[in-house]
């Protein structure tokens, strides 16, 4: 029985063909859908932490931003891992290797690099955007637009980083 399963896996690996443009397009579409779901989880947790649990008035603006952004990002990363292995990356050479503990670690490292990019981008943006009066006086969901603008810009940048890193290093 075990020998049959191993032979079947080897046969699947031999049958693995280059991903077609249509398959790649569908994979990217699924990645965007999953990214949207993970982003909602990220934004929700970041918002809850920033406004209710780790308010700037309690720990200071910088720490509030760092903590809320990290919690949101890590929540989104967990959602992304679960949905990536089950829904996004269907055309993979070695599914067993792609879902291994080593791959989870690499997935997390790619996510942590993305977190660093997000943190740096939001902190930099929050320092630069207040000089524009429009961004510091207009609010959305109780937060100045500058925070949302920084969050959205960094989400787009990190989305590209995550897809490329995960596709090239894990889900080959």
pLDDT in tens, 83-135: 999 899 988 888 889 889 999 899 999 999 998 998 899 999 888 876 666 65
Beta bridge partners of 143: 140
pLDDT-derived band at 154 (thresholds 50, 70, 90) equals: very high
Decide if 37 is inside a domain.
Answer: yes
Cα–Cα distance between 18 and 94 in angstroms, integer? Answer: 13
Decide if 66 is inside a domain.
Answer: yes
CB of 27 closer than 8 Å to CB of 118? no
* Total domains in the fold of the chain: 1
Q: Is 90 exceeded by the pLDDT of residue 137?
A: no
Q: How much is the average pLDDT of 19-29? A: 93
Half-sphere exposure of 118 (CA within 13 A, CB side): 33
Domain of 46, in residue numbers: 25-90+109-169
pLDDT of residue 131: 64
Beta bridge partners of 140: 143
Cα–Cα distance between 167 and 12 in angstroms, integer? Answer: 19
Listed in order, strand segments (DSSP E) in the chain are 139-140, 143-144
Decide if 57 is inside a domain.
Answer: yes
pLDDT in tens, 41-77: 999 999 999 999 999 999 999 999 999 989 998 899 8
Decide if 145 is inside a domain.
Answer: yes
């Amino acid at each position: 029985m075990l020998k049959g399963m191993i032979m079947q896996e080897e046969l699947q690996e031999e049958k693995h063909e280059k991903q077609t443009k249509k398959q790649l397009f569908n994979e990217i579409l699924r990645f965007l859908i999953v990214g949207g779901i993970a982003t909602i989880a990220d934004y929700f947790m970041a918002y809850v932490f920033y406004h209710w649990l780790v308010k700037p008035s309690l720990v200071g603006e910088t720490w509030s931003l760092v903590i809320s952004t990290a919690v949101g990002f890590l929540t989104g990363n967990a959602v992304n891992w679960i949905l990536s292995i089950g829904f996004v990356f269907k055309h993979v050479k070695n599914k067993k290797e792609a879902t291994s503990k080593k791959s989870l670690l690499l997935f997390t490292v790619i996510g942590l690099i993305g977190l660093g990019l997000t943190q740096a981008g939001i902190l930099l943006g929050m320092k630069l955007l207040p000089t524009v009066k429009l961004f510091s006086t207009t609010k959305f969901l109780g937060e100045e637009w500058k925070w949302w603008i920084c969050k959205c810009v960094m989400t787009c940048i990190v989305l590209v980083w995550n897809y490329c890193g995960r596709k090239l290093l894990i889900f080959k």
